[in-house]
Structures are given as C-alpha cells and as structure tokens.
Amino acid sequence: MATKLYVGSLSQSTTSENLRAHFAPFGTVVSAVVVTERDSAQSRGFGFVEMSSETEAQGAIAKLDGQPLDGASLKVNVAKSKEDRTPRM
C-alpha cells in the first residue's frame, strides 16, 4: 500500500519534477506534487510525495528530513489524513 509524505520548507524554485527526482533513489515514487497558489501558480512552500510502500517512505524520511533541496532544508514526514488534522478556528 502506498504511503503519502508531507514535504515542507520547499524552495520557491522546486518543481514537482525536482521533487520526484529527489525521492526516486529511495523507492518507487507513485506521485509528487508541489502545491501552488490557485491564482499565481507560485509554490506555497510544501508538497506531497507518495511512495509505493511504507518501508520506502520511512527510508526516504530517514534520509531526506533536514537535507537540502534547491537551497532549502526539507521537512519530511508522513502526511496526516484530513480526518486526523486539527480543525481550524
């Protein structure tokens, strides 16, 4: 079963393709997307990478959390499902 990762602290220059390539050495990347602003298409500074297994995802977290990509230090962890997030006030 695929595991979705949250990737934060992305550089404004990081693209979905850069993100996919950065995670590929750690396993099969099912999808990789940098979240962008609707109107300007500018990066919001975070994205999601889906790895094909939990083992690959945990390996990517262990190797990439805190490591640089395009001049920014990444924050990588397992993405929370919408049900698990704290509601906004």
CA 67, CA 40: separation in Å to the nearest integer? 28
Q: Is residue 89 predicted with pLDDT exceeding 90?
A: no
Q: Is residue 84 part of a domain?
A: no
SS (H, E, C) the chain: CCEEEEEECCCCCCCHHHHHHHHHHHCCEEEEEEEECCCCCCEEEEEEEEECCHHHHHHHHHHHCCCEECCEECEEEECCCHHHCCCCC
User: What are the pLDDT digits (tens) for 14-32?
Assistant: 999 999 999 999 999 999 9
Percent of the chain, pLDDT > 90? 88
Q: Is residue 41 part of a domain?
A: yes
Q: Is residue 44 part of a domain?
A: yes
Q: Is residue 87 part of a domain?
A: no
Q: Is residue 86 part of a domain?
A: no
CATH number, domain with residue 12:
3.30.70.330
Count structural domains, the chain.
Answer: 1
- The residue range of the domain holding 33 is 3-79
Q: Is residue 11 predicted with pLDDT exceeding 80?
A: yes
